[in-house]
Amino acid sequence: MTHPETLELTQKQADVRRVKRSDYTSCTVAFIDCKKPGSHLKENYSIIGPGVSSSKDQVVNLPEPHGFNVGAAAMPGGITNNLHIHFTAEVFVVQKGSFTFQWGAHGEHSFEALEGDVLSVPTWIFRGFTNTGTDDGWIFTILGGDNTGGVIFHPDIITEAAEYGLYISKNNTLIDTSKGDPVPAEDETILPMPAKDLAAIRDISPSEMTKHIVAEADRDFRPAFIDAELPNCGVEIAPILGYGITQNRDHNPKITNPHTFSMEWLRMQAGQTISPFVLDEKMVLIIRHGTVRLYLNEGGDVYVDLNAWETYSIPAGAVRSFQCLGDDVSEVLVVVAGDHRKWPRFQPGVLDAAKKAGKALDAGGFVAKASLLPNYGWAG
């Protein structure tokens, strides 16, 4: 019987929430630096929500509000995304290539990021990045909130853009006079930041920035769920930022300041599964590598196979379970709405089987030895 708080999806409803790699649609005129030599070949993608794009031509794959935005930047070797400020969280996940991230009032600090590295840049500081590899690079970006407020580019970039006939309106829309847009009045555009305000931008030292970086080599994978002792289960999670879906009390995210979402790496060995559970928040999956079958509904009668580079949005209240297909390990970036800790609700049959295997959830919702818990101390 369907639980009253669960959401049932048809196959058609499930399919439209999948964004295949071939569905990602690039925009090369998303920002005011789009004509600057060395930046003109970058591509912007808005996968969930509009992100910070200034272009009326930007395609958004899933416009439905999630409490955060998901996008991507694709750049050939040597191409730069210039210094700019964000008002909400901006988290970079390097999917392919190697990048140099710069920050500071004049980009005076830098960090070399490789595939699998994650960098959360504090708000209200200038940041930019360059593909320092020889091949095309790809970065997924997660932005805080439904309304990001757009961006402010460095005053040098805004000044140079005017030479190409480019301006940004105060509602974050790109104005291109070469395409017939009228030259705007000064009070209608975002002007270069005054020198005194630029000088007042806070400085984040390289040592302080390391607190906002989770390198691939530093990930702390551990069994995550109540079903860990059940056959073909034992999927592992490595926290990145915020309080996500793990039920392992020893998991602690490195990055804890509010972002409006949590992020975790999920790792599944070939054939492994995660038992059915419900979550009250929207969950987004980005497949780093491998193939994962996502089952939906209490009976698992609807499923979607997700391949590397694909994005999937699971609505709040849907019963979901996962299976790693093929012979390879799958890695998935899991993004869940909200800064609060998340409470996955596993089905009663899963909890009963876990108890027979010696595990239960304590009152805090963490996995514990069942024999140590009094009945009144169980969460499930």
Tokens of 243: 């309080």
- What pLDDT does residue 380 have? 63
Report the top-level CATH class of 31-214: mainly beta
Question: Which ranges in the chain are annotated with CATH 2.60.120.10?
Answer: 31-214, 219-377
| Whether 27 contacts 57, CB under 8 Å | yes
- What pLDDT does residue 63 have? 98
- What pLDDT does residue 3 have? 47
Q: What are phi and psi of 25, to 5 degrees?
A: -120, 120
Name the CATH superfamily for 219-377: Jelly Rolls (2.60.120.10)
- What pLDDT does residue 4 have? 52
- What pLDDT does residue 375 have? 81
- What pLDDT does residue 357 have? 97
- What pLDDT does residue 5 have? 75
| Whether 214 contacts 240, CB under 8 Å | yes
Task: Give the CA angle between residues 237, 234, 364 to the nearest 5°.
Answer: 65
Number of continuous H segments (helices) and E segments (strands) in the chain: 5, 28
* Sign, CA torsion 377/320/66/8: negative
| Whether 146 contacts 222, CB under 8 Å | no
Q: What are phi and psi of 36, to 5 degrees?
A: -70, 125
Q: How many angstroms separate the CA atoms of 86 and 95, rounded?
A: 21
Q: How many angstroms separate the CA atoms of 18 and 238, rounded?
A: 24
| Digit-coded pLDDT (tens) for 177-210 | 999 999 999 999 999 999 999 999 999 999 999 9
Collapsing DSSP to helix, strand or coil, 105 comes out as coil
Low-confidence ranges of the chain (pLDDT < 70): 1-4, 377, 380
| Whether 215 contacts 117, CB under 8 Å | yes
Tokens of 287: 């497949």
| Whether 296 contacts 364, CB under 8 Å | no
Q: What is the largest CA-CA distance in the chain?
A: 74
Q: How many angstroms separate the CA atoms of 268 and 330, rounded?
A: 5
Instruction: List strands edge to edge, sheet with 213-214.
Output: 60-62, 43-48, 68-75, 137-144, 90-96, 118-121, 213-214
Q: What is the pTM of this model?
A: 0.96
